[in-house]
Amino acid sequence: MEREPVFNAFVMNAPTHNAHGLWRAPHARNIGFSQPDMWVDLARRLEDAHFDAMFFADVVGTWDGYRGGWQESVARAVQFPVHDPSVLIPILAYVTRNLGFAFTSSIIQEPPFNFARRVSTLDHLSQGRIGWNIVTNALGNAARNFGLPDVPPHTERYRWAAEYAEVVYKLWEHSWDDGALVRDREAGIFADPAKVHAINHSGSRYKVEGPHLTEPSPQGTPLLMQAGSSENGRQFAARHAEGVFIHTPTPDAAAVVVSDIRARAVAAGRNADDLIFLQDLSFVVAPNDAEAEEKDRQLTAWFDPEGSLAQMSAAYGIDFSTIDLDRPIGDFQSTRHQGIIRSLIEAQSDKSRTFRDILGVQPTAGRLVGSPDRIVAAIEDWVKAGVDGFNVGFLTLPGSYVDFIELVAPRLKKKGLMQSTYREGTLREKIFPGRGPRISSAHPARRGDWTDFSKIG
């Protein structure tokens, strides 16, 4: 990494992201999420503190399966309601100059032609500060909102994602040649048609003629984000991602994942340093450890374990309301539960633990609680392990970020662990200094080695 660690605010256009129930906490402005004001205020604070980007998680369905349906998720605001981040971002980009904006968009939610146009328009409007988190979607209800009977098998989803990426890369990188935009008033030529090309994509899911409808945007391809943890996911991240989100329990575990995915990227013909790795962390911080722990107690009193179980039921495909979460897992040895339940039990050496212990039903799984010094020391450990930056989650909006900005950021900056000023240029140039606004020429989007994509999975 040629620069200080990256810090993104990891948010969602919803009342909560992973800290279920904390929309209820005093001073939390989470429920104002539908209006611009809270977000504008947050974006300005983040930019003043030199955060790199706001990163919007997203889902296009409800988490269903707990107590037989999605009713608990609706009642408890489990990533619900969830509004479109792509139309909030323009406002936040307009009120800032340097902060980046990445958002999640699933391959099931929109045809690639329309999506590519929207992203290019956003990249123009933000002067090149847009990132895309490529996801396949794992929610059954989301699948059924888009005409699918259910979530497709894992390998099929990644093949689909590979073709989706192929289409948008063709539009972003291979439809307009350099110099195509002429805008010659005297000659009456806006664009040189010899340098604007149809893409004539014809694949197993998509047929797209082109040309791309927007002028070449500052970045062309937006900064590409991905969070793959499965075998297919890691392979996909290695081929496609410039920013890989990881959610590992310890710095040592992070080092293993980073080194694995980086090796895969090199094997796929990419440069090792064309990828950065961002660990997901949240913080409860106060001037000293005791105060931080008291603050954590006060905040987590608002935590809603039912919301967490609703999300986990959908994630694991198990209705956790049918399981006694407080019995030792040893008691389940001879039950009828199979599959994932069996795997969860077998993975534990201590059979006196309960499901509630194992599932880690808590506000945010990676939350660090302590004084600024304790937080800074923890961050340092992750950085030493080879992590390039962090997706900073929240318990309350904007409180979690206000605390981080006031108490942690100044110390990080003093130690060179956070940038104290913005670099010039697009989001990509800020993240990968000195390499220009376009995606690396070693990335498949530029190389155009589409045939390789079919090898995914």
Provide the minimum distance between the beta carbon of 431 and a second copy in the complex, in angstroms, as a whole number.
Answer: 22
Residue 13 near a second copy by CB under 8 A: yes
Stretch that binds a second copy, among 76-84, 233-241, 391-399, 439-447 (CB under 8 A): 76-84
| Residues 85-124: x where in contact with a second copy by CB under 8 A, - otherwise, as a string | -xxxxxx--xx-------------xxx-xx--xx-xxx-x
> Between 202 and 421, whose beta carbon lies closer to a second copy?
202
Number of neighbouring beta carbons within 10 Å of residue 252: 10
> Between 217 and 364, whose beta carbon lies closer to a second copy?
217
Residue 145 near a second copy by CB under 8 A: yes
- Residue of 1, 38, 125, 138 that binds a second copy (CB under 8 A): 125
Provide the minimum distance between the beta carbon of 148 and a second copy in the complex, in angstroms, as a whole number.
Answer: 8
Q: Which single residue is written with the structure tokens 């979460």?
A: 325
Provide the minimum distance between the beta carbon of 206 and a second copy in the complex, in angstroms, as a whole number.
Answer: 6
> Between 96 and 279, whose beta carbon lies closer to a second copy?
96
Q: How many angstroms separate the CA atoms of 140 and 148, rounded?
A: 9
Q: How many angstroms separate the CA atoms of 152 and 137, rounded?
A: 9
Residue 21 near a second copy by CB under 8 A: yes
Q: How many angstroms separate the CA atoms of 191 and 417, rounded?
A: 45
Provide the minimum distance between the beta carbon of 88 and a second copy in the complex, in angstroms, as a whole number.
Answer: 7
> Between 188 and 434, whose beta carbon lies closer to a second copy?
188
> Between 157 and 262, whose beta carbon lies closer to a second copy?
157
Provide the minimum distance between the beta carbon of 74 and a second copy in the complex, in angstroms, as a whole number.
Answer: 4
> Between 36 and 386, whose beta carbon lies closer to a second copy?
36
Number of neighbouring beta carbons within 10 Å of residue 445: 22
Contact between 374 and 288 under an 8 Å Cβ cutoff? The reply is no
Residue 72 near a second copy by CB under 8 A: yes
Q: Half-sphere exposure of 400 toward its Cβ, with a 13 Å CA cutoff? A: 30
Instruction: Give residues 317-376 in contact with a second copy (rule: CB under 8 A).
Output: none
**DSSP alpha helix (H) spans, 328-371:** 340-346, 355-359
Q: How many angstroms separate the CA atoms of 390 and 278, rounded?
A: 5
Contact between 22 and 395 under an 8 Å Cβ cutoff? The reply is yes
Tallying the residues shown for the chain, one arrives at 457
- Residue of 1, 74, 255, 315 that binds a second copy (CB under 8 A): 74
Q: Half-sphere exposure of 398 toward its Cβ, with a 13 Å CA cutoff? A: 15
Provide the minimum distance between the beta carbon of 199 and a second copy in the complex, in angstroms, as a whole number.
Answer: 9
Residue 12 near a second copy by CB under 8 A: no
Residue 138 near a second copy by CB under 8 A: no
Residues contacting 174, CB < 8 A, separation 6+: 197, 199, 448
Provide the minimum distance between the beta carbon of 161 and a second copy in the complex, in angstroms, as a whole number.
Answer: 17
Phi and psi at residue 417, in whole multiples of 5°? Answer: -100, 5
Instruction: Give residues 176-215 in contact with a second copy (rule: CB under 8 A).
Output: 183, 185-186, 188-193, 196, 206-211, 213-215
> Between 111 and 339, whose beta carbon lies closer to a second copy?
111
Question: How many residues of this chain bind a second copy (CB under 8 A)?
Answer: 71
Q: How many angstroms separate the CA atoms of 453 and 262, rounded?
A: 18
Stretch that binds a second copy, among 3-11, 59-67, 366-374, 433-441 (CB under 8 A): 59-67
Q: What's the DSSP call for residue 7?
A: E
Burial 395-411 (b: 16+ CB within 10 A, else e): bbbbbbbbbbbebbbee
Residues contacting 305, CB < 8 A, separation 6+: 20, 356, 361
Stretch that binds a second copy, among 31-39, 283-291, 313-321, 425-433 (CB under 8 A): 31-39
Instruction: Give residues 390-429 in contact with a second copy (rule: CB under 8 A).
Output: none
> Between 303 and 382, whose beta carbon lies closer to a second copy?
303
Residues contacting 431, CB < 8 A, separation 6+: 3, 6, 52, 100, 223, 242, 243, 276
Contact between 163 and 107 under an 8 Å Cβ cutoff? The reply is no
Provide the minimum distance between the beta carbon of 125 and a second copy in the complex, in angstroms, as a whole number.
Answer: 6
Provide the minimum distance between the beta carbon of 139 and a second copy in the complex, in angstroms, as a whole number.
Answer: 11
- Residue of 2, 48, 68, 75 that binds a second copy (CB under 8 A): 75
Residue 298 near a second copy by CB under 8 A: no
Instruction: Give residues 213-252 in contact with a second copy (rule: CB under 8 A).
Output: 213-215, 217
- Residue of 54, 82, 99, 359 that binds a second copy (CB under 8 A): 82
Residues contacting 29, CB < 8 A, separation 6+: 38, 396, 397, 398
Provide the minimum distance between the beta carbon of 247 and a second copy in the complex, in angstroms, as a whole number.
Answer: 24
Contact between 56 and 291 under an 8 Å Cβ cutoff? The reply is no
Provide the minimum distance between the beta carbon of 170 and a second copy in the complex, in angstroms, as a whole number.
Answer: 12
Distances in Å between the Cα of 238 and the Cα atoms of 194, 264, 268, 388, 394 are: 35, 6, 7, 16, 28
> Between 103 and 283, whose beta carbon lies closer to a second copy?
103
